[in-house]
Structure 1
Amino acid sequence: MLGNTPFRFSGPNIYWLGMQETDNGNAYPSHFRVDDALATAAIMGATVVRSHTLGISVGCTLCVEPRLGVFNSLALQSSDYAIECARTHHIRLIIPLVDNWHYYHGGKHTFTTWRGLSNEKLFYSDPQVIGDFEAYISVILNHVNRYNGIAYKDDPTILAWETGNELAAPSSWVQKIATYIKGLDTHHLLVDGNYEQASETANFLSDLHINELDIYCGHYYPPTIAAFQTQVSQAQAANKVFIAGEYDWNTNDGDALSRFLPAVENSAAAGDLYWSLFPHDDSYGFVPHNEHYTLHYPGDTPQMRTRVASLTVHAYAMRGLPVPAMLLPAPPIITSVSGKHIEWRGTAGASTYTVERALAGATGPWAVVCERCATDNNTPWTDRSRPPGPVWYRVKGYSLSGAVSAYSNVYPAG
């Protein structure tokens, strides 16, 4: 419920908002990338985003806790910006607190390694390790955001904490951690990090009695309607909320997306979150990510565009709304011109771009050399008719519904 109104949502996982992996190691994402991704999510109808690295960040130099008991204020500042940016886009966040897997942001194995334990399953039972994890949780929840002065445990932008990502934790551990979190934070919902994967037996069933837990989840690789409906019913029977915390939006296996999304809409589930959204790059094009699940708006291929359109319609349908006309929040920015090649930083919501050229100076007159013929997938764009001598360029973007952005900066090229 949001006030007296049932709250339903669809949105993306944007796992890298606090820290991203790059070819050269980890890095904090630029403010532009964070803003662009969240603006894109909002354009697609999202009101909730799930983000691992706002809560899972241990064991690396740029992590929140790089070494046991040592905390990194710069990492927390990166999270601060993402949380405040989400607020400006009217997006709420679900934040997992530990990972089951060995990924760049650390996980449960990090805590056991710190204590010299080779069996990472001891994360769930070793008293010292559990104490270390609780101390980490306390730092996260009690941290005060530098941008708004609000402690995370009091910030309404955060919808829910999640005990972890894709855990297989004993119910005793879930009870202990859930009690600890709710003892620190009485304002937020709590998601059980034990989850159901496709058609396997749900490992959250033994947790349904835990009063401190509010939400249960499943992850669907591939989308599996029968399993989803079973788990919704299991949570509903316990008077608990259920969400699809992750699913593969880009597969031809399992149940088709065109069937899975209506099944979610017609169920008692509160929401769903696809995996995963990536933004425009800082210079031109999109941030590349060599993974089957990578989504760029409005789509790199005709098939992706069709599926992105379906996800957008679905997100608004979960809110009981039609898809509105898309408005562009910002103009593109030309970042470089080299010979006939023009690079610009794209803008959230843009589908195509028009390129204009002037020969006399920065104030024109302007001639259109590309009428909505460029996209973020074919930048750097080549002006094959560029004459010799100095020229000036400007660019504007168009949404799928034809809304036009303001012009970019004027870029001189000698």
Structure 2
Amino acid sequence: MLPLMVATLLLSSASALSIRCPHGVADLSITRNGSSLYLDGKRWTASGANVYWLGLDENVIPPVGEPFYAPYKASYPTKGRITEVMTTLNVMGARTIRSQTMGVSVGNPLSVMPELGRVNEEAFESMDWTVYQARKYGIRIFAPFTDNYDYYHGGKFVFLRWRGIDIKNGLTGTRDPKVQEFYTNRTIIDDFKNYIKIMMTHRNPYTNLTYAEDPTIFAYETGNELGGPKFGDKDVPVAWTREITEYIKKLGPTKLAVDGTYGINSAHLNISSVDIFSDHFYPMDVNKLSKGVEAVGAVDKVYFAAEYGWTPQSQTISSIDQFFAWIEEQQKTSKPIIAGDHFWSLFMHNVPDCSAFVDHDDGFTLQYGNPKNPTNYTAQISKIQQHLFKMQGKTVGAAMPPAPCLGKSEDLVLGLGLECGIRGKREVV
């Protein structure tokens, strides 16, 4: 009797969440026609959130006995934390997640590739669950395959070190010209392409689909904020960007490819295998945004504002109201070009503890519904929620409905796959 009651409650909860995955839609790919994205023949927008830690976290010390790499404070997020992200973004009106650790996972013992050529299958579990839950809640994912910085989850400096090029100061940037060997050294390029192949051909046991096959992951990005020896120089060779984006499409013919250069490199605009260009906004800057959109629109491609800081320190040039208003006005035109924007970044509860929020130290942590949020933060979060719904063509008020925290293990096991007709592995109630 208890399992039936729980299943009934879950179905009621799903109804309250307005889970957006009618039968068949989860199996449809996002497509591009010129400067617009489409789903099932209708123009589709891709606004949402950055949730960088879904594949590998650095913010929570797990219980004793759970996988943990102390030098980087690295651990796998719980299934409950991942699922709560989906319920929260559903309530907020988001359609997409951008997540570094769903694509970048090299160089520490908990990574997909701890050492060159060695695959750690355990590292896929949190990624698999993320894709499964995103599919369940009607949310799409895009992820970069490497990082410009030497973070806990790895990036281009790891690939360089694996081939004997040990460059320091990877976190703050470097002026060492040898950093360009990531883009020009044939051995390193092939190492990177092999890593991409391992990621995209991995088969998710929850869906019975490879990442290349699953339209939940609608796009891959060549990297996060890529550049050369000088921060912001956009010095990413055309040949490398073309080769990597063509390879992504070879492995996943329905995938869209995002140029991961930090900013719009005009030399890349005519690369036919690039579908989407993006920029990041710290601070928000409508003038910079409009110039980028104009440049991308001139070659009939799609533009993302793939990161923006939402707190007061990111509103010194343009306010959040001005930033959102400009994007929303573009949606009313026949050729919007900008198809999405993504706040940095979402953190919720330390599930299964639904009483404690997870903190991060970069000053941009968004904790939806945290009663300890300052009043001005709550007001900004409400504006983000209203904007996300407007990007869907819907209007909502300033009220912020609660997002369920599914903290018990039975919440995560019972009822999975009931809402969306997910094929592959099913739990039986």
TM-score band w.r.t. shorter chain: 0.7 to 0.9
* C-alpha distance in 2 between matches for 1:213 and 1:333: 40
Q: Does 1:304 align with 2:377?
A: yes
Residue pair 1:46, 1:91 contacting (<8 A) in 2 also: yes
The RMSD of aligned alpha carbons is: 1.9
Pairing of 1:8-407 with structure 2 (within 5 A): 8-22=45-59, 24=70, 25-118=73-166, 119-168=178-227, 169-196=236-263, 202=264, 204-251=265-312, 252-267=315-330, 268=336, 269-282=338-351, 283=353, 284-299=355-370, 300-323=373-396, 330=404
In the TM superposition, residue 39 of structure 1 has moved relative to its aligned partner by: 1.2
* C-alpha distance in 2 between matches for 1:264 and 1:91: 21
Residue pair 2:226, 2:260 contacting (<8 A) in 1 also: yes
Change (3 A) 1:17 1:330: same
* C-alpha distance in 2 between matches for 1:332 and 1:174: 41
In the TM superposition, residue 188 of structure 1 has moved relative to its aligned partner by: 1.0
Change (3 A) 1:262 1:54: same
* C-alpha distance in 2 between matches for 1:32 and 1:266: 37
Cα offsets for 1:110-131 (capped at 9, x unmatched): 0010000133321000010000
Residue pair 1:77, 1:146 contacting (<8 A) in 2 also: no
The amino acid across from 2:243 in the alignment is K
In the TM superposition, residue 285 of structure 1 has moved relative to its aligned partner by: 1.8
Cα offsets for 1:197-223 (capped at 9, x unmatched): xxxxx3x21111111110000101000
In the TM superposition, residue 327 of structure 1 has moved relative to its aligned partner by: 6.1
Residue pair 2:382, 2:400 contacting (<8 A) in 1 also: no
Name the count of aligned residue pairs: 330
Cα offsets for 1:10-43 (capped at 9, x unmatched): 2110000000003641000000111111211111
* C-alpha distance in 2 between matches for 1:328 and 1:109: 41
In the TM superposition, residue 9 of structure 1 has moved relative to its aligned partner by: 3.1
Structure 1 match to 2:44? 7
Task: Answer with 297-306 or 67-76: which moved more.
Answer: 297-306
The amino acid across from 2:361 in the alignment is N
In the TM superposition, residue 326 of structure 1 has moved relative to its aligned partner by: 6.7
Task: Answer with 285-294 or 302-311: which moved more.
Answer: 285-294
* C-alpha distance in 1 between matches for 2:213 and 2:136: 17
Higher strand share: 1
* C-alpha distance in 1 between matches for 2:341 and 2:283: 14
| Structure 2 gap ranges (5+) | 1-37, 62-69, 167-177, 228-235, 331-335, 410-429
Is the partner of 2:142 in helix, strand or coil?
A: strand
Q: TM-score, normalised by structure 2?
A: 0.74
Task: Answer with 317-326 or 275-284: which moved more.
Answer: 317-326
The amino acid across from 2:358 in the alignment is V
In the TM superposition, residue 4 of structure 1 has moved relative to its aligned partner by: 2.1
In the TM superposition, residue 334 of structure 1 has moved relative to its aligned partner by: 9.8
Cα offsets for 1:83-136 (capped at 9, x unmatched): 111111110001110000111100000001000013332100001000000000
Q: TM-score, normalised by structure 1?
A: 0.77
Higher relative contact order (CA 8 A, sep 6+): 2
Is the partner of 2:48 in helix, strand or coil?
A: strand
Higher helix share: 2
Residue pair 2:102, 2:143 contacting (<8 A) in 1 also: yes
Task: Answer with 107-116 or 265-274: which moved more.
Answer: 265-274
Percent identity between the two aligned chains: 36
Is the partner of 2:209 in helix, strand or coil?
A: coil
Residue pair 2:84, 2:404 contacting (<8 A) in 1 also: no
**Greater C-alpha radius of gyration:** 1
The amino acid across from 2:161 in the alignment is T
Is the partner of 1:245 in helix, strand or coil?
A: strand
Cα offsets for 1:303-350 (capped at 9, x unmatched): 111000000000000110122887656477699xxxxxxxxxxxxxxx
| Structure 1 gap ranges (5+) | 197-201, 336-414
